[in-house]
Amino acid sequence: MAQVLEDISRTFNEYLLLPNLTTEKCIPSNVSLRTPLTKFKKGEEAKIYLNAPFVSAIMQSVSGEKMAIALAREGGLSFIYGAQTIEEQAEMVKNVKKHKAGFVKSDSNVKIGTKLKEVIELVKRTGHSTVTITDDGTARGKLLGLVTDKDYRISKVNAEDVVDTYMTPIEKLVCAKSGVSLSEANDLIWENKINCLPVIDNNGNLEYLIFRKDYEERKNNPNSLLDEDKRYIVGAGINTRDYRERIPALVDAGVDVLCMDSSDGYSIWQKNTIDFVRSKYGESVKIGAGNVVDKEGFRYLADAGADFIKVGVGGGSICITREQKGIGRGQASSIIDVVRARDEYFKEKGIYIPICSDGGIVHDYHITIALALGSDFVMMGRYFARFDESPTRVLKKGNNYVKEYWGEGSNRAKNWQRYDLGDTKENLSFEEGVDSYIPYAGPLKDNLLLTMSKIKSTMCNCGAITIEELHEKARLTLVSEISIQEGSAHDVMLKEIDKKY
């Protein structure tokens, strides 16, 4: 007969943390959220650490290059989605790596002779008030001038005028040469009392724009996740079909870490993919595997050589795998089982393999629960899809602003490789994800800072100021349905707050 586990499949919502002794050191400003992304041997350091325990999901509606830059700026990491051509994905990775901290690739560019009304429309569409004028209208063309929204008054100008009339020509611009450091560029900005400094090569072609505000922002983001060349660290998702072609292209593009995107990681195809990486690149290319839900799945991928392992099947907000196929496990139970296996593996082999909790997070405190149960970091889709930096549109539905969000197992995504079981069928035969809307939440930075504040505060309540310490000290208790109700506002009449205030 089938093996039947006696344990109930538990979710994050069924646990609460118990307070530990809070000492003088337990204040939020002392809390470090630094955590390993890749495996390491006992007594050694991981090759890559996150400064914030967040990675964005390998999804078309979540992880594009803008998300990768914004999240790396805050200390996390994005895995650029793989459900696109190899060339398109590699170009996204290149664009993130080209975007040095403080060095911005211009995405608002026009040619000489462009009508002002087109410039105004471009500014509205991109939200960027500085537009470059180049000989071919591209971000790498020969720089001819700049125009900002301070150079014209919409109510006073003729929209049919050409941009040449309003731009500051190259002769009057202060520019920096290729290879300038961010510190040197900042000196030029302050000495010349300008807000934008173009960086051009020896042929006069535009490379980057450096803004006064971005330099200040860089100083205000000391946790930015950077490589040795001060470029943002970025990941990329891959599948187990075209990896022989996709991985070399991504490595050539400068990707820092790979992650297999699959609904079921406990498979020979993931081992074959890891074997390919190890045979071609050795340990120099880092690759994560998953998803799994138990110790058997963890051990299989650990022995295969995975650098980190993702945990979770069927717990995502847009995932319907459990109702379609009846397969999966509650996220908390999955984490508990896999973490035990990870700790046993570390004792046996002396190799620590970080665990990524993927799915099941509804509230911010669920992130802390996932970390307390032993996860090293979390992967989130819905959380990040709400922000300006995700690739989808902001729409108005009724009186609310929303963003589109769809699962990789939906017909819209057509990401059949993620659910591939080794046959030759090239389309999804049934959906394992839905197409949906989620409330629009604004910029990533503001929301993520609030989430991190909650995590740090809770960790202090647990007597821990590092994630490793949280693993050791956390105490959790199961909760009843009644105690969940007790934990929310109850038996009162809530005031309606005037939105004007």
Catalytic residues, by residue number, are: 319, 418
Beta strand 143-148 with 49-50 is: unpaired
CA dihedral in degrees (100, 46, 81, 315; nearest 10)?
-140
Please state, in angstroms and rounded to a whole number, the distance separating the CA atoms of residues 80 and 238. 9
Residue type, 477: T
Q: Encoding tokens for residue 464?
A: 């821990």
State the amino acid at position 455 in one-letter form.
I
Helix (H) or strand (E) holding 88: helix 86-98
Torsion of CA 254, 389, 292, 412, to 10 degrees: -100
C-alpha closest to that of 293 among 337, 344, 260, 345:
337
Q: Amino acid identity, residue 314?
A: G
Q: Are 369 and 15 in contact (CB under 8 A)?
A: yes
Rounded to whole angstroms, how far apart are CA atoms 71 and 159? 37
Rounded Cα gap, residues 347 and 350, in angstroms: 6
Copy the structure tokens of residue 56: 């964005």
